[in-house]
Amino acid sequence: MNSGFLQTPIEYLKGVGPNRANLLRKELGIHTYQDLINLFPNRYLDRTQYYKIAQLKQTNAEVQIIGRITHIKTVQQQRGKRLVATFTDETGTMELVWFRGHKWIRENLKLNTPYVIFGKTNWFNNMFSMPHPEMELLEAHEKSLRSAMQPVYPSTEKLSSSGITNRVINTLMQQLFLESKNAFAETLSKPLISSLKLLSKSEALFNVHFPKNQGLLARAQYRLKFEELFYIQLQLVRKNLVHKSKIKGYPFEKVGEHFNTFFKDHLPFKLTGAQKRVLKEIRNDLGSKAQMNRLLQGDVGSGKTIVAFMSKLLALDNGFQACLMAPTEILSVQHYNSLIELSKSLNISISLLTGSTSTSSRREIHENLENGRINILIGTHALLEDKVKFKNLGLAIIDEQHRFGVAQRSKLWHKNEFPPHVLVMTATPIPRTLAMSIYGDLDISVIDELPPGRKEVKTVHRFDANRLKVFRFLKDEISKGRQVYIVYPLIQESEALDYKDLMDGYESIVREFPMPQYQVSIVHGQMKAADKEFEMNRFIKGETQIMVATTVIEVGVNVPNASVMVIESAERFGLSQLHQLRGRVGRGAEQSYCILMTSHKLTHDARTRLETMVKTSDGFEIAEVDLKLRGPGDLMGTQQSGVLNLRIADIIKDGEILKIARSYAIQLLKEDPALSNSENFPIRNTFAQLVKYRNIWNYIS
């Protein structure tokens, strides 16, 4: 069947008309026949079994029975009346009850004629009854397209109250299948279908809407899930390949003096196997003639900084400049300081450009960038300003990617004749399935082992009642010369309440840890930037032993001497936030601790989050649990909510199908990049239709 038929506006389907079409468009986004066919059921009622009245149990379950109505009566009750029918089969008798619509129902019921009834049973006065049963004459039931597994479609209150019930949608679906004669164009190639033993497109669509049994339903769902994920991956993988073939990058052909001197003489510690592997992947990209577009994932403290620095040295060795962009001033200052430390024995020039750089320093930086005297520039969004011009930017590194939009990234690209190579770094572990879908057009490197000598942070969960013991422990740690973070939640909706909690907490800490023996810093969102900076620096220099803060310290603050992280109301934090906060300690040689403080009232999810934190420090394991608890939308933060608008597949439950779909997409494009082999025509046509009617970016926001 041609795709034109499926693009027919929904009002032309028999039984719809302009009013219903309007509702379907507004409530469910159904504009065309194609949208209706892709409205997949949420669940199914199993109507494969027929019960006898004598077999019924007092479970309030939904059951289906064949029998006849022998008698109808109206019964008065306190408010109004009810209609009661006596329903019998060869094993017993029960009652059918209606509380409304009496006149219409009474007129339409046929006595002593076989019916199939379906609904929930109640046990009352030693008899089973079924209120408002679904009813169908046995003769019609046997002819009906409607299958034994009855689909339940997504709906809204407005649809139900306007009479577009599940049964109506079911009828419309039957009508659509009758009009199409179930002849839907195949969207996958024959070799792919036979290799995976998939149902055809027509069989899959029929069996997902009208399944005869569980086995056929499972096969239909697998086929449709595979197809949905396959086309997303096909677009992402193709985008990556097109990028590599069309977007030229500067080839870094040599590994020169800067890199070799640093590697041989100045490496502060031995690289881990994972760091070496990732460096090799980056070197291969930089040496090819295509622009690098790589995501570097590594848990907090896994040593991404040194990999990024050595990548910058490769740029310098090939006569190019490099830059690093971080989301906050504090983080960019920290990157700057660590690079100055790493490069102190090398003859390279590094500058820092942020919002607070003075006008005269700015002018100097702009000038030295253009004439090539500055080798590496570190900064915040200030790097994106039009005034910032490089002599020859060869490598751009972006830290914490999800805080920068695509438009901002492309600004960096346009600072040169060729776009620079791009390395995106994140300390937020992203589950593999999600990374494949959201960053599927980037090549991904993972640093998945911690440097030797790093001790794992001990994590414990304590209730508010144990607070005095916790304070004693903090005093012991401070007496050993260590420092402590105490973090309070800050959630936009309850900002005033949170601020009060923070201030109450701060006062109780100051009472418990009095001056002059103890010094306490406080940092929160309502302070001026300069005051924040001042307090942060006091803590970094070790002038204060305790830092009371809201989550402003979440990303990137590096104080190796801080060995304890106390998280107040830990049940109010998400898993990834808890994991990021824990990563602020454990940066020195000493044993570090993370203490999760909560009240006794905990939801099931909160308990799962706390148990996960205590059990593991593996960021990827934590991210998998987080994904299961929160779903993909929330995991990527608000600007990427609704990350995957999938119709039938589920990124969490269908991770295995996703991996298979991606590997088939990669294989196919390797063998036939233009999809020009005749056997791949169905894929090529479907792909063209998808791009025309529903681009990949409709799936990925």
Tokens at 400, concatenated: 């914490």
pLDDT of 636 > 50? The answer is no
Burial of residue 89 (CB within 10 Å: 0-12, 13-18, 19+) is middle
Residues 458-498: pLDDT tens digits? 999 999 899 999 999 999 999 999 999 999 887 555 666 77
Q: Strand pairing partners for 99?
A: none
C-alpha–C-alpha distance, residues 10 and 35, integer Å = 9
pTM for this structure? 0.66
Q: What SS3 string covers 23-77?
A: HHHHHHCCCEHHHHHCCCCCEEEECCCCECHHHCCCCCCEEEEEEEEEEEEEEEC
Eight-class DSSP state of 456: P
The pLDDT, as a whole number, for residue 130 is 94
What is the C-alpha to C-alpha distance for residues 270 and 276, in angstroms, rounded to an integer? 10
pLDDT the model gives residue 551: 63
* Lowest pLDDT segment from 124-133, 206-215, 295-304: 295-304
Element housing 96 (H / E): strand 92-98
SS3 state of residue 570: helix
User: Domains of the chain: which residue ranges?
Assistant: 48-146, 214-247+649-699, 257-287+302-426, 458-616
Structure tokens at 606: 């909160």
User: Between vectors from CA 619 to CA 615 and to CA 620, what angle results, nearest 5°?
Assistant: 105
pLDDT for res 642: 38
Judge whether 447 and 275 are in contact, CB under 8 Å. yes
In the chain, pLDDT over 70 holds for what percent of residues?
91
Mean pLDDT of 556-563: 78
Number of Cα atoms under 13 Å in the Cβ half of residue 633: 9
Q: Which CATH number fits domain 257-287+302-426: 3.50.50.60, 3.40.50.300, 3.30.750.24, 3.40.50.2300?
A: 3.40.50.300
Q: Is 565 exposed, middle or buried (0-12, 13-18, 19+ CB in 10 A)?
A: buried
Q: Does residue 248 register a pLDDT over 90?
A: no
Q: What does the mean pLDDT of the chain come to? A: 86
Sequence-distant (6+) residues with CB within 8 A of 553 are 485, 487, 523, 536, 547, 581, 584
**CA 198 – CA 203 distance, rounded (Å):** 10
Two tokens at 174?
A: 């039957």
- Which one has a higher pLDDT value, 528 or 378? 378
* Mean pLDDT, residues 532-538 taken together: 85
The C-alpha atoms of residue 420 and residue 688 are separated, in whole angstroms, by 31
> What's the CATH fold of domain 48-146?
OB fold (Dihydrolipoamide Acetyltransferase, E2P) (2.40.50)
| pLDDT of the residue at 698 | 46
> How far is the C-alpha of 237 from the C-alpha of 484, rounded, in Å?
46
Average pLDDT over residues 680-697: 78
Residue 293, pLDDT score = 86
Q: What is the pLDDT of residues 354-413, one digit of tens each?
A: 888 899 999 999 999 999 999 999 998 888 888 888 999 999 998 875 555 555 656 666
Radius of gyration of the chain (CA): 32
Return the CATH number of the domain spanning residue range 458-616: 3.40.50.300
DSSP code per residue over 337-365: HHHHHHTTTS---EEEE-TTS-HHHHHHH
In the chain, the percentage of residues whose pLDDT exceeds 90 is: 44
Q: Check residues 90 and 146 and name the one with the higher pLDDT.
A: 90
| pLDDT for position 617 | 84
Residue 40 has pLDDT above 90, yes or no: yes
Asked if pLDDT for residue 262 goes beyond 50, the answer is yes
* Across 139-153, 172-186, 268-282, 388-402, least confident range: 139-153
Residue 424's SS3 state is strand
458-616 has the same fold as 257-287+302-426 = yes
